[in-house]
Amino acid sequence: MSSSAASSTPPAAAAAGGDKPAVAPYGSWRSPITADVVSGADRRLGGIALAGDGRLLWIEGRPEEKGRMVIVKEEDNPVDVIPQEFAARTLAQEYGGGAFAVNKSVVVFSNYKDQRLYKQTLGRELFFVTDRGSGFWNIYKWVEQTNEIVPVYSLDAEFTTPLWVFGISSYDFLGNSDHIVFSYRQKGRSHLGVLDCDSGSVSLLDIPFSDLSDVVASDDYFYIEGASASIPQSIAKKAYAYFYPPSNPNFQGLADEKPPLLVKTHGGPTAETRAILDLSVHYWTSRGWAYVDVNYGGSTGYGREYRERLLDKWGIVDVDDCCSCARFLVESGKVDGQRLCITGRSAGGYATLAALAFRDTFKAGASLYGVGDLTLLRTETHKFESHYIDNLVGNERAYYERSPINFVNQFTCPVILFQGLEDKVVPPDQARKIYNALKEKGLPVALVEYEGGQHGFRKAENIKFTLEQMMVFFARLVGKFEVADDITPIKIENFD
């Protein structure tokens, strides 16, 4: 017994124009909806939420991306909220759900691959600071739709500071608006402004501060952290400094006498000194000292070109600028050239020791947790700065030739050193090596070590003791005067 095939090849659908549909068994009809179409088109939607601006967000399952679940935000053209390498999906109770939550402009979601929570801020533009365009740290934004990087506001000024510590904020956004409140440094002074990102217009605000360090904003208001002082005189064209003459309403100097000078070198060295009320400066000026705070080449606040003057030149440019500053003040008749002293902390302590080893400008120096051996610093310093100085020093020969410890024979004047015993940035061996070498050479030298002291003196008693002993050290060995304060001096080797 034979049988015929159940059906032949299904007929094509009837042509348009009124022809009757072809007759064919159920299940055999030809369809334009292929499996490929179905597998690529079935985007499952769900899990809706509202953002702070009232726009809708949802989860979108995409078969064409291997089932990846994507958070999407309603815009003129909907945009993906999470990056390509993430998928928003939980495995809670095997069935999942609840893959994301929204609070204003912040989305927190569970990533499918590792089931960890991640935070994503809503927005189409990434804002950041770089000096690659103008040579100054300016604010830029990345526009995702066009993959463009554009300046937010171009100015020959610094819109941030070196990120030595966490939590620095030099600009912030006013709520959900397109307005940015920002601070910047220009010619040694801070300025504050509000930028309308849509129009590009800027409103500068009149503030009573010469220095701003932080800006934070909410929907309707913002806060700034500021300080102020009168702006001192700039005394050079290619280097910058703040000069503070002696000042005390109850005293004036002798008619035939010029004041002693203390030159201060800031730390970093990628940092800057600022014109603010600093009582540690007025401690000296109110006692009859002139004081100059130097922003040597390599300092921040003056653009990338000025900052990069120190590349391969640490121990040269900074030292030359400090010495030139002191000589300028002598030549202009403001200070006594026979009573020039220098001090600094950390990198400023290194500049102090280098100035005493490689120049003959100063008559005494005080190093606070300063560097005497660059090679030892590279070996012993903490991880964060383990390669920081490579670009500042250069080759191995430069490490040797710019280390004051290797040229103790060139020191000719008294030195006092202050060091914390728990300093991980500049370990105590640095101060001890210089102290022992200078003591053996026969120069007047003193070393003060603080138990529990770290990189920077924070205890009131240590700060007080350092100031007083530095003052009396300079007075005894250079100043040729008696200090008015009742200070018991420590022993000075090769002097007492």
pLDDT reported for residue 176: 65
Q: Are 450 and 419 contacting, i.e. CB atoms less than 8 angstroms apart?
A: yes
pLDDT in tens, 172-195: 877 666 788 888 888 777 788 788
CA distance 341 to 284: 12
Fold of 240-479: Rossmann fold (3.40.50)
> Each residue of 227-286: pLDDT tens digit?
665 544 444 346 778 888 888 888 888 888 888 999 999 988 877 777 667 788 888 888
Q: How confident is the model at residue 438 (pLDDT cuts 50, 70, 90)?
A: very high
φ and ψ of 439, to 5 deg:
-65, -45
Amino acid at 199: S
Give the start-to-end residue ranges of the domains of the chain: 38-121, 125-227, 240-479
Q: How confident is the model at residue 449 (pLDDT cuts 50, 70, 90)?
A: very high
pLDDT at 407 over 60: yes
Task: Name the token pair of 120.
Answer: 């994503």
Distance in angstroms between the alpha carbons of the first and the last residue of the chain: 130
pLDDT mean over 322-346: 91
- Return the pLDDT at 363: 95
- At the topology level of CATH, where does 125-227 sit? Neuraminidase (2.120.10)
Q: For the whole model, what pTM was predicted?
A: 0.63
> Rg of the chain's alpha carbons, rounded to an integer?
34
